[in-house]
Amino acid sequence: MGLIVQKFGGTSVGSAEKIQNAANRAIAEKKQGHQVVVVVSAMGKSTDSLVSLAKQITAQPSKREMDMLLATGEQVTISLLSMALQEQGYDAVSYTGWQAGIRTEHVHGNARITDINTSAVEDQLSEGKIVVVAGFQGMTEEGQITTLGRGGSDTTAVALAAALKADKCDIYTDVPGVFTTDPRYVKSARKLSGISYDEMLELANLGAGVLHPRAVEFAKNYLVPLEVRSSTETEAGTLIEEEPSMEQNLIVRGIAFEDQITRVTVSGLANGLTTLSTIFTALAKRNINVDIIIQTAAGDNKTGISFSVKSEDTDNTVAVLDEYKDALKFDQIETESKLAKVSIVGSGMVSNPGVAAEMFAVLAKKNIQVKMVSTSEIKVSTVISENDMVKAVEALHDAFELSKQASVV
């Protein structure tokens, strides 16, 4: 007998019928003799609907009230799924995040889980119940409701699996696994049988929405065996593990992309020792996440900086820089929006020089201008025009032969 944590995303619990289907998946594991915890998201697109409801009331809702509102979505699903299980004669109980002992830091809208007191869930499991837990939510030490950021139910599931020392965490979703790139955009994308924690972490951080990045972080840190699989088909999904045994060690494993990126360029900056720290400390204090940073030398003791931010942060970024105009003594700020970041990821890059060069050559051949670049041991990211994003991903997918079935080693 083992302990299995299952997670069902929004589409997979988007109707009464789909909730029945999720119940059947939980029952199938229970029938195998396992203890079962099920983590669920809000039904369908209901989180989006709650966000747009709030926007009809105010342009800038308080973050605390936003969490209060969004946390209701998952509570609808936990009660309905428990009812579906009870209807089929199984003992089930629904728990909110805080009832399940999920404690978070005091940050509204994007809180990190700090610890989990699993005793209540364990008591229910030992009584033979299927425990249904609301994803995406927790509570601070002071008793405030928080949410974990969009897509955060994955993190609830993996963190619970780690805390309960589960034998497995299955993420049921609307695609049959992790693909070489988003199969909604690239028809030739191929399902991977396995991928390493590190590669998955890069892909998730670089925009592959299939898993919440913090979920992968938890899985890597606690070595949680994780599988992403279809909620409607029974085929095996993708295993996320230390060393994927069923996949060849390809140079490029996958391609991630993200749109709505803006490049901010500040020119004619005084080239002082503290220039960089002044800019980026000010932005960090306002919670503005800066991604790629490029510094350019200019004559006359002047310097220039370009960096990328999410487009939604553009106005705030410019406002913060303007506040520091006297200290920074820059000439001007320029912004370019409608950009996208396209990244190739693969652990084989570490030992293969020339991957970035090949990427640039592929993009040049397609007449795609690269505006910014950033690399790490296992990824190369380029910032390009949003209009070229899908074309670039398709070209790179072809050039690195990602749709070819890798031979098993």
Shorter beta-carbon distance to ligand ADP: residue 155 or 314: 155
Residue 136 makes contact with ligand ADP by CB under 6 A: no
Please tell me whether residue 135 binds Mg ion under the rule CB under 5 A.
no
Residue with tokens 């020119």: 267
- 3-state class (DSSP) for residue 241: strand
Q: Which structure tokens are listed for 20?
A: 């029945």
DSSP 191: B
> Is residue 184 part of the contact set for ligand ADP (CB under 6 A)?
yes
When CB distances are held under 5 to 8 angstroms depending on the partner's kind, the choice from Mg ion, ligand ASP, ligand ADP, none that residue 182 binds is ligand ADP
- Alpha carbon 72 to its chain centroid, in Å, reads 21
Helix (H) or strand (E) holding 39: strand 35-40
Give every CB contact of residue 166 below 8 A, 6+ residues apart in sequence: 2, 3, 4, 5, 37, 160, 224
Chain Cα centroid distance, residue 301: 41
User: Which is nearest to 275 in space by CA: 247, 307, 252?
Assistant: 307
Choose, by CB under 5 A, the member of 14, 73, 97, 151 that binds Mg ion: 151
- Per CB under 6 A, 179 contacts ligand ADP: yes
What does 210 bind: ligand ASP, ligand ADP, Mg ion, none (CB cut-off 5 to 8 Å by kind)?
ligand ADP
Per-residue binding string, ligand ASP, 77-106, x by CB under 6 A, is ------------------------------
According to CB under 6 A, which residues from 27 to 56 bind ligand ADP?
41
44 binds Mg ion (CB under 5 A): no
Residue 152, interface with ligand ASP (CB under 6 A)?
A: yes
User: If contact means CB under 5 to 8 A according to the sort of partner, which of Mg ion, ligand ADP, ligand ASP, none does residue 150 touch?
Assistant: ligand ASP
- Nearest-CB residue for ligand ADP: 9
Give the closest residue to 13 by CA, choosing from 68, 91, 80. 80
213 binds Mg ion (CB under 5 A): no
DSSP state letters, 156-181: HHHHHHHHTT-SEEEEEESSSS-BSS
Question: Nearer Cβ to ligand ADP, position 211 or 328?
Answer: 211
Is 151 or 237 the residue whose CB approaches ligand ASP more closely?
A: 151
